[in-house]
Amino acid sequence: MNDVLFLAHTDAGGALPRAALEALSAAKGLAAALGGKLDVALLGDGAQGAVAATAGAGARRALVAAGADLSQARYGADAAAAAALVKASGAGIVVAPHTSRLARVMAGVAVRVGGRIDTHVTGLAAEGGAVATRWFYRQRIEGTLRRAERPWILLVDPGTAPAHAPSGAAPAAEAVNVAVTDAEQRTTVTGTRQPGTGKSTIRPDAKLLFVAGAGWTKKQPDGAPHPDVAEKLILEFIDAAGASLGSSKSLVDQAGEGQKIFEFMTHLNQVGQTGATPRHPKGLATCCHGEEPHVVGWRFVGQRRAVNLDPGCGWARGKADVLYVADAFAVLAKVNELLAAKK
Ligand SMILES: Cc1cc2nc3c(=O)[nH]c(=O)nc-3n(C[C@H](O)[C@H](O)[C@H](O)COP(=O)(O)OP(=O)(O)OC[C@H]3O[C@@H](n4cnc5c(N)ncnc54)[C@H](O)[C@@H]3O)c2cc1C
């Protein structure tokens, strides 16, 4: 019952996504704390080769799904493969990354294997048995969960554990046969579409979260708004810094108010109480007032800095580590210049 299975899928290139390597660290730590054995199970294209990335985790076995077309994320095939891997391992606890591919299927897998599932797990420990932590009520209350039912599937949130760094030899891959009907494989992914102009601005793995607030579209000290300049500065910066783009609610809501909007920005970028709670080591807010419903989304951002013309803005009231009282247009133009010179 104390044995742990780490289950993940490969990405399109046949490698393990970063979220999977983080979940592997969490699984390894839990197995060690419980005194149980660790198994590894992978599905997707190149799963056999990806076992090498789990080297050094101390896994006793590496199970690989075979016999089904798992090159695309498809509910039927993915659920059948994950259920077969969980059954083949027999471990009581299954730790998997909370990626969109697994989040879609693992609740169904829990039903198929007669187990239970908890999602958005942020910590795993052994306290007289396995315990998992997660946040509730828009990240305001942290709860500790235990369950008697097994297998217990735990989807670990990205950014909550260090990524596993492979070392030494990995266990040999053992193929587990997956029976999938034609109906379960009939969906074909023909492509992906992104909202807005198709520019991908949300990068969960980025070291920096760059937040743009409504101030970017407001009248500036010269009496006129300069949204075109703002757009150029913001895009240049997030591309040069490899940053993820967040937004305040006021800025993304402008789309519905007929005002100038940034085409690359959607409600998916919104950070805060009614938006996302991303995890980045650093955050920089610009032209954003730092009101509580926005800042509550910064809960897991490590170091917080803000640029605002107003020395009395919300960030100044203990919400940022550093507040630069400055014109964000001038600051970003200078920073972009320095980044371009560094290239
Ligand atoms: C129930 C509820 C839920 C909410 N949920 C969220 C949420 O999830 N996320 C969220 O963001 N908000 C949320 N809000 C709204 C929130 O309270 C604020 O209204 C919003 O965050 C304000 O956005 P802002 O700071 O971009 O805009 P503003 O308040 O308009 O602030 C713009 C700022 O830009 C600065 N500025 C202007 N020009 C410059 C310049 N050149 N250089 C530097 N600074 C400049 C100004 O000084 C000002 O501080 C919620 C509100 C409610 C009631």
Q: What is the pLDDT of residue 113?
A: 98
Token representation of residue 178 = 């997956």
Structural domain contains residue 311? yes
Q: What is the pLDDT of residue 196?
A: 54
127, 153, 185: which is the final residue of a domain? 185
Structural domain contains residue 191? no
pLDDT digits (tens, 9 = 90+) for 91-114: 999 999 999 999 999 999 999 999
Structural domain contains residue 236? yes
Rg from Cα positions in the chain: 23
Mean pLDDT over all residues of the chain? 94
Q: Which domain holds residue 296?
A: 208-342
Count how many domains the chain has.
Answer: 2
Q: How does strand 130-136 pair with strand 141-145? A: antiparallel
Please enumerate in sequence order all residues whose Cβ is within 8 A of that of 325, keeping only pairs 6 or more positions apart, or say none: 308, 309, 310, 311
pLDDT digits (tens, 9 = 90+) for 258-283: 676 788 888 999 999 999 999 999 99
Instruction: Report how far ligand 1's centroid is from the alpha carbon of 322 (Å).
Output: 18
pLDDT digits (tens, 9 = 90+) for 17-34: 999 999 999 999 999 999
Hey, which of 216, 234, 252, 274 would you mutate to test ligand 1's pocket, going by the most ligand atoms within 8 Å of its Cβ? 274
Hey, which of 231, 237, 249 would you mutate to test ligand 1's pocket, going by the most ligand atoms within 8 Å of its Cβ? 249
Q: Which residues line ligand 1 (CB under 6 A)?
A: 213-215, 218, 220, 248-251, 270-275, 287-289, 291, 293-294, 297, 307-310, 313, 327-329
Single pTM value for the model: 0.80
Instruction: Report how far ligand 1's centroid is from the alpha carbon of 247 (Å).
Output: 9
Q: Looking at 11-15, 169-173, 196-200, which range is the least confident one?
A: 196-200
Beta carbons of 35 and 93 less than 8 angstroms apart:
no
- Which protein residue's CA is at the shortest distance from atom 29 of ligand 1? 289
On the question of pLDDT at 195 being above 70, the answer is no
In this structure, what CATH number is given to the domain that contains residue 29?
3.40.50.620
Cα 237 to Cα 20, 28, 43: the distances in Å are 29, 38, 37
Beta carbons of 57 and 164 less than 8 angstroms apart:
yes
